[in-house]
Amino acid sequence: MKKTLYDYKEVIKELPLKNKYTKEELLIDKFLIDKENNIEIYYAPHNEYLNPKAKIFIIGITPGFQQMSTAIATARKELEVSDNIQEIQYKCKVAARFSGSLRKNIISMLDGIELNNIFNLQSCSQLFDEDDYLLHTISLIPYPVFVKGQNYTGHTPKLIKSQFLMNYIYDNFINEFKKLEKSEEILLIPLGKAVEEVLINLKDNGIIKEEQILMGFPHPSGANVNRVAQFEANRDNMIKFIKNHFKYV
């Protein structure tokens, strides 16, 4: 059963009102959902809003600590003045989805593969603003995951080989995907190799279609030193893929 803001609103209300929090404030037992060995999964209201009419699905591995902090800070402020949980869940999504440099890098690459032209947008920055009805962002694992207190990157342990983590994908990501209208027509943009590998696995199991998966989109993190080179190497193929994909949608 997925944990939501309904379950954690009272715990969040115990936090001081702040724009951002430290790990010492958030990586605490009250927010701990699950753990195995040195892997810990914590709660954040980051992946609770679902946009069922989205045409584009940007998929990360797990919210990082920055996204966790932003989502919880947003929830804390909103709970001070409102008890409309569904509205707060949407505001948490808007504030935290790939916030910071990740969003900037994603927008730059989406414009670089001319996705903005498909939808007659000046820039894909509009997908995170006035045209967000076209976009749904999600993590394979809906909650923040940490290994030895650091953001999980999908590699140690390797995501697709960790049954503990894959269970969260089966229980959450797949269920959400199936709720989407015309899910078989949605463009899936995996951020990096680890997500790409999982989507290929889901394709092999008949859950999604190969022609939905945009291959070769680099992880947008500034820590990915090969990001620019990977993007340039794959750019032309990605442009052709999205043009072909939306030709028939």
Q: What is the mean pLDDT of each run of 10 residues along the chain (249 residues)?
A: 92 96 97 97 94 90 94 97 95 87 93 95 94 92 96 92 93 81 86 94 91 94 89 96 83
CATH of the domain spanning 34-247: 3.40.470
| Residues 29, 49: Cα–Cα separation, whole Å | 25
If phi > 0 it is left, if psi is from -120 to 50 it is alpha, else beta; for residue 137 that is: beta
Query: What Å distances lie between residue 198 and 110, 138, 140, 203, CA to CA?
Result: 21, 14, 9, 9
| pLDDT at res. 179 | 75
Place of tokens 């440099």: 101
Place of tokens 């943009």: 189
| 188, 209 Cβ separation under 8 angstroms | no
| pLDDT at res. 152 | 95
| pLDDT at res. 222 | 83
| 149, 17 Cβ separation under 8 angstroms | no
CA angle at residue 48 from 178 to 171, to 5 degrees?
45
Place of tokens 């919880």: 72
The ranges assigned to domains in the chain are 34-247
Answering whether pTM is above 0.95, one says no
| pLDDT at res. 248 | 59
Q: CA dihedral defined by 102, 105, 148, 198, rounded to 10 degrees?
A: 100
